[in-house]
Chains A and B, each alone.
Chain A
Amino acid sequence: MITTAKPGRYGEFGGQYLPETLMPAVAELEAAWLDARADTDFQNELARVLHDWVGRPTPLTDAPRLARAVGLARVLLKREDLAHTGAHKINSAVGQALLAKRMGKHRVVAETGAGQHGVASAAACALLGLECVVYMGTVDARRQHANVFRMKLLGAEVREVDAGSRTLKDAVNEAIRDWVTNVRTTYYLLGSAIGPHPYPAMVRDFQAVIGREAREQALALLGGLPDVVVACVGGGSNAIGIFSAFLDDPSVKIVGVEAGGEGIASGKHAASIVGGSVGVLHGSRTLVLQDDQGQIRETHSVSAGLDYPGVGPEHAALARSGRVRYVARTDREALDAFALLSRSEGIIPALEPAHAIAELPAIAKDDPSQTVLLCLSGRGDKDLEIVMGEGLVR
């Protein structure tokens, strides 16, 4: 863990760059979160819901055919795709929805890119009887229209955002505007480890269950730690969740894989760490994709869930310290990896973790004898229409 001089600071990154109207709200949220964290009743209730409703613990799957195909000794998949609603997003959504209810907030707003966080929020709100409004860019709503239907089926209201790049960043802007306006009654259920403090720390806390389980499962299976832990990074919630259990193990190499789009040199990508610079976006100082005037750039990725011009501040700090190595894989590499896992192991991954799978050959090249733990953050059903035109099936 990166030690912070003051809460919410990760070295030079983090903070609370927010309108004054929201400052009391984030203070209230931080106090409520710390209080819930220390309350065994809350923790027991969260554990019960994670077990009975989310289906945790998720399995750790040995993937020998994938390992052989990429030239590695062993690959272990942490199966967040098998969590309820099909992705890791549910871990934080249900934790935060329980917190919202505890705070007496009956209305929840959320943003979504690929729709996974929107679906998870809608499901958690349905479970707890909370009103749910999800903001989604019109571009994302079109490419992920099945998830729009899912959210509506779960009782959420989906508000499409037709501003800016019409993707995740604009959905975040609009969710924050709603929060500013309705702050007294509304809880903002942020999906990634981004935004103002306490969100990056709180989302990591709720997602750390991935790392805790995976570490225990790996120790049982291997009798030791994996050599490498790898995960995809958009805002970085699944990655920080699994990384958090291994940051203090110097023997474990950690790799975060960003969305390289059409290649970093093309400028059409969403790799904020590999291709970005220091800036302020959505309440946090972090690494962002911006032009020389400080305007946030439009991003590109085949994966809507990674299509975001910033990254969680803790990832920025982990990149700066060198503890985690961040790389980028292109759309094409992710699509090939998508097909590879489907055929080799009978698991169709989401396009987001397909970027992490695409990094495996490079890790093998480094040292083929390594055992790699990979966070399979979600399943690929939502992406079938997108990949159908990509020539993956002969």
Chain B
Amino acid sequence: MTISTAPTGTARIARAFARARAERRLALVVYLTVGYPDKAATGGLLRAALDGGADVLELGVPFSDPLADGATVQRASEIALRQRVSLTDCLAEATTIVRERDAAVLLMGYANPFLSYRGGLSGFASDAARAGVAGIIVPDLPSEESAEFDAALDPEGLARIDLYAPTTPDDRLARLVPAARGFVYCVSLAGVTGARRALGADVATFVARVRRHTALPIAVGFGISTAEHVGSLRGVADAVVVGSAALDAVSGAPADGRPEALRAFVSTLAAAGKS
């Protein structure tokens, strides 16, 4: 363990949400698959997302079988894996962006690559803490299976951000949400990730059900693709998560214009979270 005056990853997350709250706007969480469209581009894209107004970065760890993801993230993961992007590469990207920008960074990925990390989960946790990562989001790890992850993450001060879904019943929310750390991630609809034309009709009701059990900030993700979607969540949630739509903004731009296209896209969402 090292003694350091630098804020922990968790403190960076708390700071990012507090800043958004003080400015009376939605915090913006941007997801990007590490290694998409290529390994060398990731750093520039992460900077562009921050320049556009992202408060928190989610670094997507590619996996061969992303069963909670729609076509966009699946394709991004396949392309990243063709370049053999590993969890170690993701930690290296996190280290760089945290050093350079003091950014709040989470890793999002499936259980198996974390379990396969050399040094195991505790080795991962200590490397992630050293990289300045705040925590991890694991879409195929429900609370029932999370004990060994928590045992490794807790001593390093890393948070495991749980996902809750509109299908999660009230008694389950009452049991699990109070134990949440950092923020609470609500999945906007029953489904996989991916840009959509309309948000689920019951998002507001769902967020209200969750809020009864926590004072932590609530983020809504899955399907959020446009400034309109973001605007419609003002007064409902505290933060929005944008992933597939950000990747679409990247893939829709010519190779030399990708960071600028992403920055511009993120800034329209950031603006929609303000007014």
Which A residues form the contact surface with B (CB < 8 A)? 15-25, 163-164, 169-170, 172-173, 176-177, 180-184, 279-283, 288, 290, 292-296
B78 contacts partner chain A, Cβ-Cβ < 8 Å: yes
Alpha-carbon gap, A282 to B111, bound state (A)? 11
Q: Identify A293's interface contact among B113, B140, B168, B192, CB under 8 A.
A: B113
B164 contacts partner chain A, Cβ-Cβ < 8 Å: yes
Closest Cβ neighbor of A184 among chain B residues: B190
Q: Is the CB of B74 within 8 A of A163?
A: yes
Known pairs A20-B187, A280-B111; A292 contacts B164 (CB<8 A): no
Q: Is the CB of B142 within 8 A of A23?
A: yes
Closest Cβ neighbor of B140 among chain A residues: A17
Q: Is the CB of A280 within 8 A of B142?
A: no
B96 contacts partner chain A, Cβ-Cβ < 8 Å: no
- Cβ of A295: which chain B residues have Cβ within 8 Å of it? 63-64, 81, 112-113
Q: Is the CB of B115 within 8 A of A24?
A: no
Q: Is the CB of A180 within 8 A of B78?
A: no
Restricting to B45-84, which residues have a CB under 8 Å from any CB of A?
A: 63-68, 70, 74, 78, 81, 84
Alpha-carbon gap, A164 to B145, bound state (A)? 26
- Cβ of A290: which chain B residues have Cβ within 8 Å of it? 112, 116
Alpha-carbon gap, A57 to B168, bound state (A)? 42
Q: Identify A177's interface contact among B67, B145, B163, CB under 8 A.
A: B67
**Nearest Cβ in chain B — how far from A141, in angstroms?**
19
**Nearest Cβ in chain B — how far from A315, in angstroms?**
19
Alpha-carbon gap, A292 to B115, bound state (A)? 11
**Nearest Cβ in chain A — how far from B124, in angstroms?**
11
Closest Cβ neighbor of B118 among chain A residues: A292
Known pairs A177-B192, A180-B190, A280-B140; A296 contacts B112 (CB<8 A): yes
Which 3 A-B residue pairings sit nearest by Cβ, starting from the closest?
A294-B116, A21-B165, A294-B113
B13 contacts partner chain A, Cβ-Cβ < 8 Å: no
Closest Cβ neighbor of B139 among chain A residues: A19
B275 contacts partner chain A, Cβ-Cβ < 8 Å: no
B169 contacts partner chain A, Cβ-Cβ < 8 Å: yes
Q: Is the CB of A296 within 8 A of B187?
A: no
Closest Cβ neighbor of A292 among chain B residues: B116
Q: Identify B65's interface contact among A21, A25, A173, A183, CB under 8 A.
A: A173
Q: Is the CB of A181 within 8 A of B112?
A: no
- Cβ of A19: which chain B residues have Cβ within 8 Å of it? 67-68, 139-140, 142, 163, 165
Q: Identify A283's interface contact among B118, B140, B165, B167, CB under 8 A.
A: B140
Q: A15-B144, A20-B187, A21-B167 are in contact. List 9 more A-B contacts (CB 8 A).
A: A19-B142, A22-B167, A23-B144, A163-B78, A183-B190, A288-B112, A293-B86, A294-B115, A296-B64
Q: Is the CB of B112 within 8 A of A20?
A: no
Restricting to B136-162, which residues have a CB under 8 Å from any CB of A?
A: 139-142, 144-145, 162
Q: Identify A20's interface contact among B78, B110, B165, CB under 8 A.
A: B165
Q: Identify A282's interface contact among B67, B68, B113, CB under 8 A.
A: B67
Q: Is the CB of B116 within 8 A of A281?
A: no
B87 contacts partner chain A, Cβ-Cβ < 8 Å: yes
Count contacts on B: residues with CB < 8 A to the other chain.
41
Q: Is the CB of B191 within 8 A of A181?
A: yes
B101 contacts partner chain A, Cβ-Cβ < 8 Å: no
What are 26 A-B interface contacts by the 8 Å CB criterion? A16-B145, A17-B142, A18-B142, A19-B67, A20-B142, A20-B163, A21-B165, A21-B187, A24-B169, A24-B172, A163-B78, A164-B78, A177-B70, A177-B192, A181-B192, A183-B167, A184-B167, A184-B190, A279-B115, A280-B111, A282-B65, A290-B116, A293-B87, A294-B116, A295-B112, A296-B64
Alpha-carbon gap, A229 to B230, bound state (A)? 61
Q: Is the CB of A20 within 8 A of B162?
A: yes
Closest Cβ neighbor of B75 among chain A residues: A163
Q: Is the CB of A281 within 8 A of B112?
A: yes
Alpha-carbon gap, A172 to B64, bound state (A)? 13
**Nearest Cβ in chain B — how far from A200, in angstroms?**
15
Closest Cβ neighbor of A293 among chain B residues: B86
Contact with A along B95-120 (1 / 0, CB 8 A): 00000000000000011111111100
**Nearest Cβ in chain B — how far from A180, in angstroms?**
6
- Cβ of B169: which chain A residues have Cβ within 8 Å of it? 24
Known pairs A293-B87, A294-B112, A294-B116; A180 contacts B192 (CB<8 A): yes
Alpha-carbon gap, A24 to B164, bound state (A)? 11
**Nearest Cβ in chain B — how far from A291, in angstroms?**
8
**Nearest Cβ in chain A — how far from B28, in angstroms?**
23
- Cβ of A183: which chain B residues have Cβ within 8 Å of it? 167, 190
Alpha-carbon gap, A288 to B87, bound state (A)? 19
- Cβ of B112: which chain A residues have Cβ within 8 Å of it? 279-281, 288, 290, 294-296
Alpha-carbon gap, A17 to B111, bound state (A)? 8
- Cβ of B65: which chain A residues have Cβ within 8 Å of it? 164, 169-170, 173, 281-282, 296
Q: Is the CB of A180 within 8 A of B191?
A: yes
- Cβ of A282: which chain B residues have Cβ within 8 Å of it? 65, 67
**Nearest Cβ in chain A — how far from B163, in angstroms?**
5
Most B CB atoms within 10 A — which of A172, A181, A280? A280
Alpha-carbon gap, A288 to B65, bound state (A)? 13
Q: Identify B168's interface contact among A24, A177, A180, A280, CB under 8 A.
A: A24
Q: Is the CB of A23 within 8 A of B113?
A: no
